[in-house]
Structure 1
């Protein structure tokens, strides 16, 4: 169910891209939604067992009858997109050059189960701040790739493609675009990928900014030592959270293929799998549409559907975190200057002392609101944070 086909080009070619889904795929989707077999749900279950059935029925009815995918594509196509290949993998990316001559290149990387659609509201303010109430001196050339295996990059082609592979591909992309010095930003998988970019090319990555950051306690035997009361409360909460909410992680890092048959065949199944994370991981008090509109949710879900990439997206967990592939060790401390914005609704709010073991932290800010999908949930806060932090690295 790839959205488009790509002609073979020379190895390093960068070619313009526009998304244009055949109407037959949209018609097929609506037919599948109309034929959905709904599971039972226990009285009073709400979201305890997973995505709540009546909410999903409502979302899928809207998807079938009111959601306009072609209008969404017009939004996507409002910014310049391109395709290239790196080491045999297709790589889709946005490249929005700023009109400002002193703009600096910024790579922003999404995660799971998100996509580059998370950034549509921030492309303009970041690349052309003067037109969006900002200062010309805060301009960026914005490069927003789709991780290979996600969205328009399409399914990955080989075993072993992990977050380090994605980082190497993005470093290569920046070389092809002619950028020798740049800054990077990411959350979720994006955080791991931009960290790896800085590890691979510290001579080119001037600084990194993360809205999700890793780390580990200095004393594993006394992990709460030196933490504030708020941090201790978080660590306690996270232990209970992981016991309750990590089923997706266990499946995707061990047997993603088995799950992918259902999610690739059933749009309702795909929506049920993804929307639960948008509810749980956002700052929405249990009401997902306090953080996202139905259209925003469906733009992202539909992108997985039309490109047939839920399997390869989940496979990144297997390749990066699966059996024999993950060590709790964070390796050497990254010395590239690092900033972190900690959003209160996110699922990982690492204590600063833990993060400082892995990163050279030069900026740490607790945000007033927002969650895991920061740019989509709080675009203005996200833009202001990046403008402020990266102003010191121009």
Structure 2
């Protein structure tokens, strides 16, 4: 290992005092009577959440929880990368790189850390913050560039010759790029999604199940995809308001988290009300909502550049489809990755590691220990 500096999270009291003042001084826009979540995040619910945030949520308790596990920063190709690094207690622990998405953070995997580092089938867990997110450098880059950084982090900074990788959402794109570009060092990968039809596919090559999936995705983008369009085109315009108002930041994240759902389901998606707020707090205290949104623009620019798409990798891939995730068929996954395990899960959603940590941890352990 080289160039590692111990990191301890300690937010200045002035930041927390300022946060409470901003929350108390929120200018509420009002909402259409009876609109619920149909126009975006419910103001009725958000007011309840903000009241809880001001009067009951304990950041110092959550901060201590985050500091339970070793964290570091290191220089990777001239960029500061923050990551958790927890050694497994088994005799031959497997190195496992876990990559989060948007609008979550490295906190996405917090609950599975003790589940995957105990016992004989354990893992050395490496859980970084993507550049532009959390405590890594505030510099947005596209997903292939993140994969390049992760390869260096794992092989040069941490000294692993081979490692495993898993991710969903943005983390899926990064993990897929890792497997495609660096199959000599990536021993296996796991996904909870593998990408979505974008309307450019040849329908003559698609199965009926894939066509149904494409139709669902098209409808979803029209009803729920505004966040991606804005962040892929005008992330800077969005950043001013979200970086200035914690209520606005929460509203934007929650509208993606599970728009149209009841508060109970919404909070369950993030693992609970405190977990939901802790994830939002990581964006707030680091002021990274702007750079995290900017990653969508960087990915879009990379696609528009005309670069050759990544080739399908032969690295063994496990795929788990959770019931409150977009339900893609196996043949769709096989277009992009070398599927050796495809499982339909019985519970959980987009943030399964927070929502159903036992189920998610068992899935990762079963897959990675089945391939080597």
TM-score by shorter chain over 0.5:
yes
**TM-score class normalised by the smaller sequence:** over 0.9
Q: Which residue of 1 aligns with 2:355?
A: 377
Q: Which residue of 2 aligns with 1:150?
A: 133
Q: Which residue of 1 aligns with 2:370?
A: 392
Q: Per-residue CA shift, 1:65-119, capped at 9, x if unaligned?
A: 1111111010000000000122332100010011222111000110000011111
Q: How far apart, in 2, do the equivalents of 1:324 and 1:182 lie?
A: 28
Q: How far apart, in 1, do the equivalents of 2:257 and 2:296 lie?
A: 18
Q: CA deviation at 1:376?
A: 0.7
**Do 1:216 and 1:355's aligned partners in 2 also have CA atoms closer than 8 Å?**
no
Aligned counterparts, 1:348-359, within 5 A: 348-359=326-337
Q: Which residue of 2 aligns with 1:307?
A: 286
Aligned counterparts, 1:334-345, within 5 A: 334-345=313-324
Q: CA deviation at 1:271?
A: 0.4
Change (3 A) 1:224 1:242: farther
**Do 1:154 and 1:309's aligned partners in 2 also have CA atoms closer than 8 Å?**
no
Aligned counterparts, 1:34-53, within 5 A: 34-53=24-43
Change (3 A) 1:345 1:172: same
Q: Which residue of 2 aligns with 1:238?
A: 217
Unmatched 5+ stretches in structure 1? 1-11, 131-135
Counterpart among 269, 290, 296 of residue 317 in structure 1: 296
Q: Which runs of 4+ in 1 moved over 4 A?
A: 326-330
Unmatched 5+ stretches in structure 2? none
Q: CA deviation at 1:180?
A: 0.6
The DSSP-based 3-state class of the residue aligned with 2:90 is coil
Q: How far apart, in 2, do the equivalents of 1:169 and 1:350 lie?
A: 29
Q: Per-residue CA shift, 1:276-316, capped at 9, x if unaligned?
A: 2222399x797313433210110000000000000010010
Aligned counterparts, 1:272-283, within 5 A: 272-280=251-259
**Do 2:180 and 2:311's aligned partners in 1 also have CA atoms closer than 8 Å?**
no
Counterpart among 192, 208, 214 of residue 227 in structure 1: 208
The DSSP-based 3-state class of the residue aligned with 1:206 is strand
Q: CA deviation at 1:148?
A: 0.8
Q: Which residue of 2 aligns with 1:269?
A: 248
**Do 1:281 and 1:372's aligned partners in 2 also have CA atoms closer than 8 Å?**
no
1:259 lines up with 2:242 in the alignment: no
The DSSP-based 3-state class of the residue aligned with 1:153 is coil
Counterpart among 338, 352, 369 of residue 360 in structure 1: 338
